[in-house]
Amino acid sequence: MERDVRTVEDVLELLDGLFAPDADRWTGDAAGWWDGFYADRNRPVPFFADKPDENLVEWLERGLIGGRRALDLGCGPGRNALYLAERGFAVDAVDLSPQAIAWATERAREMGIGETGAEGTEAGVRFLCQDAFGSAGSPLTGPYDLVYDSGCFHHLPPHRRISHLALLDRVLAPGGHLALTCFAAGAMGCELPDAELYRTSRLHGGLAYTPDSLRRIFADLTEVELRRMHDEPENSPHFGEPFLWAGLFRRGTA
């Protein structure tokens, strides 16, 4: 008989286990599943393209995002992290998948982008293969002027939103920005209520969000812009799919 639950983290890990049988699982062999996903680099996956998100490019060009240090959550093959590094950011880029990190590291080497130091004092990218929301021994100490999440958030089970918000609270600098893209309800993703997800023990390919739900979740931040991602043609230098929300939120300075 096991009676091991005594902390909030114990509860979160217990709930993680409910999703373990599903391909969308957050713990267990999640890294292995994503490794299989990234193993075939020729798969027709839109975000395998080596180009940054159009909203990230626009917000930087409009001066809505600034600073020097950035965290890229669920960086995949590194397309947004490398773009930020090219524009002078010191980037910590995190992903569960060793395959994704290896691919991103190869791209950085081909582009001549070096590794930033642990203190984030110079432009470059430090790729980290780990659970971004693990607290024990995590090098994600911040403060980061920008936390960028392109498609990681909608793959989290509901209870791990708590971990996402806790990470932001811990590492996002005063006046810093959270920027994210996620599935838009009515266009892409699962729209089952949170409670039903626990009854089915599945994420059904990723969770859809409405603007109001995103505003409630990130209520402690100030909304700067929340819109649908622009539909970018195949020959565009930027990535854009209209089934995604693009949201920019700012942390207060006080």
Task: Band the pLDDT of 25: cuts 50, 70, 90.
Answer: very low
Res. 188: pLDDT tops 80: yes
pLDDT reported for residue 87: 95
Task: Band the pLDDT of 27: cuts 50, 70, 90.
Answer: very low
CB 218 within 8 A of CB 178: yes
> Following CA atoms 21, 23, 28, 34 in sequence, which dihedral angle do they give, to the nearest 10 degrees?
170
Mean pLDDT of 60-72: 96
Res. 23: pLDDT tops 50: no
CB 167 within 8 A of CB 228: no
pLDDT reported for residue 26: 43
Least confident of 14-23, 119-128, 146-155, 206-215: 14-23
Q: Letter for the amino acid at 131?
A: D
Q: What is the DSSP track for 84-104? A: HHHTT-EEEEEES-HHHHHHH
**How far apart are alpha carbons 156 and 180 in whole angstroms?**
13
Q: What is the dihedral sign for C-alpha 37, 43, 47, 52?
A: positive
Beta bridge partners of 26: none
pLDDT reported for residue 1: 74
Q: What is the pLDDT of residues 233-243, one digit of tens each?
A: 999 999 999 99
Q: What is the pLDDT of residues 74-83, one digit of tens each?
A: 999 999 999 9
pLDDT reported for residue 15: 86
pLDDT reported for residue 131: 84
Cα–Cα distances in angstroms (integers) from residue 192 to residues 156, 158, 199, in the given order: 14, 11, 11
Res. 136: pLDDT tops 70: no
pTM above 0.85, yes or no: yes
For 177-201, give one letter per residue: b (16+ CB within 10 A) or e.
Answer: bbbbbbbbbeebbbeeeeeebeeee
Task: Band the pLDDT of 9: cuts 50, 70, 90.
Answer: confident
Task: Band the pLDDT of 115: cuts 50, 70, 90.
Answer: confident
Res. 211: pLDDT tops 50: yes
Task: Band the pLDDT of 8: cuts 50, 70, 90.
Answer: confident
Which of 136, 142, 216 shows the shortest CA–CA distance to 174? Answer: 142
Mean of pLDDT over the chain: 89
pLDDT reported for residue 134: 63
Q: For the chain, which residues make up each domain, given as ranges?
A: 8-250
What CATH class is the domain 8-250? alpha beta
